[in-house]
Amino acid sequence: MATVDEPTRRDIEAFVYLEARLADESRYDEWEALVTDDMHYWVPFGPGDYEPGTRVSYINDNRARLGTRIRQLATGVHHAQDPPSSMRRVVSNIEILSAGGEEFEVGSNFVLYEHAVQATGHLRLWAGRTTHRLRRTADGLRMAGKKVELVNSTSPLPNLPFII
Amino acid sequence: MAPTVQSSAASNDYRYLVQDDRIHGSLYTDPRVFADEMERIFTDGWVFVGHESEVPEIGDWVSRRLGTEPVLMVRNRDGAISVVANRCAHRGTTLCPQNDGNNRNFRCAYHGWTYDLDGTLLGVPGPKGFHKDSADLGLDRPGQVDDYRGFVFANRSGTAGPLSDHLGAGGTDLIDRTSNMSPTGRVRLSAGWIGQRIDSNWKMWPESDHDGYHLNFTHASMARAVPDTYYDEIVMTGEEASESATRAYDGGHLELDFRRSYTAELAWLGTTREKVADYCEALEGSYGPEKAKTIMWDGPPHALVFPNLFLAEMNIARIEPVSPGVTVHRHTPLLVEGTDESVNRRLVLQSEAAMGPASFFLTDDAVIAERMHRAFEGAAVGDDGWVDLSRGLEREQSADGQRWSDITDETTNRGFWHHYREVMASVAGDRHNGV
C-alpha cells in the first residue's frame, strides 16, 4: 500500500469515479480521452496472474484494438449494444497499491447492474476487482492500464460488448 | 393468422417439422424436442468431447458435457483416454466440480467412494457392510469412445456404429485440414476455453456459425470499424462476386469454404510470410513445398462436425446445449506445434478478437440468436412460425456426398436440418446399458 498526499488521493478517486460513470453512460468518446497511447485493457480468464497472450482472455486490448472496440460501439449498428445497455456500477474499496514517479496502481471493487435491453431484457449482475494503472500527465491523470478480474470469470459469461 | 394448434403427437413429427425448404420454429423452443435431441443426437450418436492434447499427463482431466450429461475426459495410467460420468456411482454426487485438474484417483466427497482414473471402483469405506461386486459399480461410461487425430468423440448408447462412419469423407477431410495446420500434424488445445452463455436454443449455433448470408448485416459494425479484414474479400463482396462456397457434407457436417477467395497466402492469418517465417518453414519441412503451399493458401476450414464441434478456422469451439433456451458456446485457440511460439501468440490474439462474449463478432451473433429465440417462444405447430430456408435451393449442386452453392445460400442450414430430420425421425435402436 502506498501513501500519497490528500490532494493526490482525491484526484485518483475522482478519476476512478469519472471513468466508471462515463462507462455506465456509454460515453465512449469521453472515456477514450482518458487513456494513454500505451493503454492496455485486460479482462483475464481466472485471476490475472498470467502474461496476457500466453493463454486466452476475454479481452486483451492494446491501444489499437481498444480503438477498434470503441469504433465498433460508435457505428450505430453494433447489435450487441443497440440500444446500449442501461448500466450503473458502484465502485468502492479504493486503495492506492503503489506509487512510483508519476504512476499509481489503484485497486477497487465494483458491482455493476446491467439491463440487457437488446434481446432478453435480463438484469445482469457483474462483480469484480479493478486494477487501474494511472499516470500523471500535463493534462491531468490518465489511464495506462485497466485490469478487470471478474469474480465468476471461470464460468461462461453473457455478452460483454461494453466497457466494464 | 391464428395458429392451428395440432395435437401433442404432431409436435414431435420431425418429418413434418423439417421440410425441404423450411423448418418450424417450435424446434427451437419446445422442451419435448429438446428431450428427444438429448436422446437421439447426444446419447445415440457421436458427440465431440475434447482433444487429447488437453490432458497430456497421467491423471489430467477436463470437465465436459455429452448433451446435458456431465463427464470427465481423463488421461489414464496406461496413457489412453477415458470418458467417465462426473457422478459418483453410489448416490450421484458430482465428483469434480471444477473445469479441469489432475488427480491420482477420484474420491467422492459424500461417502468417500474412490475410483481409478478409468472409472473402476477402487474402494468404499466400511466394506463389510457392502456386499455387491465392486466390479459392477464403477463410474458410468459411454458405450463407445474413439478419436480421430486426437479429436475425442463419445457415443453414450454404444449403438452409433464406428466413428469413421459418423465422420464420413466430409468430416474426416475437415479434421485432416484442421490438424494439418500444425507442422507436426497434431494441434494443441492448451490456451484455455472461454465460455459464452447465450439465451437461445443450441441449434441456432450450428446455423449461425455456418451462415454465409448474414455477414453484411449482423456484422456490419465490424466491417465499418475495421474495413480491411479478410472477411471483406471472402464473404462481404456480395452474391456471386465471391468465389467462396457453402457446402453440406453427408452426415450433417457443414462448411463455409473460403479457399478459392483468398487472394494471398496466409490471408486467413492476417499476415505475411515474413512475420511468421519459422511457421512457414516448419510447414514446408513437414509437408514438402507443394502441400505446404496449399495449406498456407487455403488456411483452416470453417466447418461443423455434427452436432457440436465447430472447427472455427484457428479456433476450436464446442456447442453445449443447456436447456431449450440456453446454450454455452465455448472456444479455445487452435495452437500449433513444431514451430516457435510467436505464431501461437498471434493465434491467441486473433482468437480474442473473433470469439467469445467480448469479441467483435460473436457478441452480435448472440443478440441475433437471442432475438430469434424470443420470437419463437410462442410457436405452436400450425401455419405460423415457420423458418424459410429456401435460399439457393434451385441453384445448388450435388455430387460425391456433398452439396454446394453460392456462399450466401442456405445449403449449410438445409444440410444441418435434413440430417437432423434423419436422426430425429429414426426409431431408436437397442440402447447400450451405458451412461
Residue of B nearest to A156 (CA): B195
Q: Which of B161, B127, B172 is nearest to B301 (CA)?
A: B172
Contacts with B363 from chain A: Cβ below 8 Å: 78, 80, 159-161
Per-residue pLDDT at B106: 98
What count of Cα atoms within 13 Å lies in the side-chain half-sphere of residue B11?
A: 17
Please report the domains of chain A, with CATH numbers, ordered by start residue: 6-150 (3.10.450.50)
The chain-wide mean pLDDT, for chain B, equals: 92
* For helices B342-354 and B277-298, angle between their N-to-C axes, nearest 10 degrees: 50
Q: In this complex, do A156 and B356 lie within 8 Å of one another by their Cβ atoms? A: no
Q: Which of B126-130, B269-273, B286-290 has the highest mean pLDDT?
A: B286-290
Is the model's pLDDT at B25 over the cut of 50? Answer: yes
Per-residue pLDDT at B426: 81
Within 8 A by CB and 6+ apart from A3, the residues are A96, A99
> For B106-129, how does the pLDDT look when each residue is reduced to its tens digit (9 = 90+)?
999 999 999 999 999 999 999 999
- Helix (H) or strand (E) run with residue A131 in it: strand A122-137
Q: In this complex, do A45 and B194 lie within 8 Å of one another by their Cβ atoms? A: yes
Average pLDDT for residues B195-202, to the nearest whole number? 98
Average pLDDT for residues A140-164, to the nearest whole number? 98
Give me the sign of the Cα torsion angle B194, B200, B201, B206. negative
Q: In this complex, do B218 and A79 lie within 8 Å of one another by their Cβ atoms? A: yes
Reading the block at residue A49, the C-alpha cell is 496472474
Q: In this complex, do B226 and A68 lie within 8 Å of one another by their Cβ atoms? A: yes
- What ipTM does this complex have? 0.96
Q: Which of B125, B68, B116 is nearest to B95 (CA)?
A: B116
Reading the block at residue B31, the C-alpha cell is 422442451
* Apex B49 CA angle, B45 and B50, nearest 5: 150
> For B130-187, how does the pLDDT look when each residue is reduced to its tens digit (9 = 90+)?
889 888 899 999 999 999 999 999 999 999 999 999 999 999 999 999 999 999 999 9
Average pLDDT for residues A154-160, to the nearest whole number? 98
Is the model's pLDDT at A128 over the cut of 50? Answer: yes
Per-residue pLDDT at B435: 40
Place of cell 500527465: A137
Is the model's pLDDT at B429 over the cut of 60? Answer: no
Per-residue pLDDT at B3: 45
> For B226-248, how does the pLDDT look when each residue is reduced to its tens digit (9 = 90+)?
876 666 666 565 666 678 999 99
Q: In this complex, do A156 and B224 lie within 8 Å of one another by their Cβ atoms? A: no
Residue of B nearest to A158 (CA): B197
Is the model's pLDDT at B290 over the cut of 90? Answer: yes
How far is the C-alpha of A5 from the C-alpha of B368, rounded, in Å? 50
How far is the C-alpha of B231 from the C-alpha of B234, rounded, in Å? 5
Per-residue pLDDT at B130: 87
Average pLDDT for residues B18-25, to the nearest whole number? 96
Q: In this complex, do A156 and B366 lie within 8 Å of one another by their Cβ atoms? A: no
* Apex B319 CA angle, B314 and B320, nearest 5: 145
For chain B, which residues lie within 8 Å of any Cβ of chain A, measuring from their own Cβ?
A: 99, 190-199, 218, 220-222, 224-226, 328, 330-333, 345, 348-349, 351-353, 356-358, 360, 363-364, 366-368, 370-371, 374
How far is the C-alpha of A2 from the C-alpha of A134, rounded, in Å? 14
> For A13-43, how does the pLDDT look when each residue is reduced to its tens digit (9 = 90+)?
999 999 999 999 999 999 999 999 999 999 9
> For B300-340, how does the pLDDT look when each residue is reduced to its tens digit (9 = 90+)?
999 999 999 999 999 999 999 999 999 999 999 999 999 99
How far from B372 is each of B5, B205, B366, B385, CA to CA, in Å? 21, 12, 10, 11
Q: Which of B102, B45, B105, B103 is nearest to B69 (CA)?
A: B45
Per-residue pLDDT at B313: 96
Per-residue pLDDT at B225: 87
pTM score, whole prediction: 0.94
Q: In this complex, do B199 and A119 lie within 8 Å of one another by their Cβ atoms? A: yes
Q: In this complex, do B199 and A118 lie within 8 Å of one another by their Cβ atoms? A: no
Q: Which of B190, B333, B374 sits opposite A119 (nearest CB)?
A: B374
Cis ω on the peptide bond leading into residue A7 (within 30° of 0)?
no
Is the model's pLDDT at B217 over the cut of 80? Answer: yes
Is the model's pLDDT at A89 over the cut of 90? Answer: yes
Average pLDDT for residues B275-289, to the nearest whole number? 97
Residue of B nearest to A54 (CA): B345
Please report the domains of chain B, with CATH numbers, ordered by start residue: 47-148 (2.102.10.10), 169-425 (3.90.380.10)
Specify the range with the lowest mean pLDDT, choosing from B239-248, B268-277, B306-315, B390-399.
B239-248
How far is the C-alpha of B248 from the C-alpha of B403, rounded, in Å? 5
Average pLDDT for residues B287-305, to the nearest whole number? 97
Per-residue pLDDT at B238: 60
Reading the block at residue B238, the C-alpha cell is 456480395
* For helices B31-40 and B411-425, angle between their N-to-C axes, nearest 10 degrees: 80
Q: Among B362, B364, B365, which would you mutate to test the A interface (most chain A Cβ atoms within 10 Å of its Cβ)?
A: B364
